[in-house]
Amino acid sequence: MSDLVCVGAFSGAFGVHGEVRLKSFTADPLAIADYAPLTLEDGSGSYDIQITREINNGFAARVTGIATKEQADALRGTRLFAPRDRLPSLPDDEYYHADLIGVAVFDAGGAPLGTVKSVQNHGAADLLELAIPGQSKTVLLPFTMAVVPTVDLAAGRIVADPPEGLFD
């Protein structure tokens, strides 16, 4: 588990006075400002954030050190990270997506199914994207209690009961 968790990203300028477009990846989107100062993954930059208003697909925000549209545009695509110890602890049946990436997935009989490549959510529920050993394709596994009854992060193992035909 990494000491940093991605909590948001800049998606360009908002207006001409140095505000940025900010996408929040936190459960409560407004809470992203509570974890500031946010850093870059490599630790090379640190930003305090003040959300100014809600906009389509995120927020408009003021960021320390950013005063022009050009500076705000230069941040486009920059991911923002918070130290894990600033984030709230989770109940037993909830997980940070970052903790699931790279975890091995096995079926109930112990046969390997793949490794979690990403966690996606297209509106209904989370999906685990699994990289299949020896194949270039991936499989999307519903991340529900019925399909994924066991997540043991300490052992680096997930046990799944995939729907019939998913791996055919």
Residue 88 has pLDDT above 60, yes or no: yes
Pick the last residue of a domain from 86, 109, 141.
86
Residue 127 is part of a domain; what is its CATH number?
A: 2.30.30.240
**Per-residue model confidence as pLDDT tens digits over 40-68:** 878 788 899 999 999 998 999 999 999 99
Residue 155 has pLDDT above 70, yes or no: yes
Count of the separate structural domains present in the chain: 2
Return d(Cα 36, Cα 46) in angstroms, integer. Answer: 9
CA distances from 87 to 34, 47, 92, 103 (A): 9, 17, 15, 21
**Inside any domain, residue 92:** no
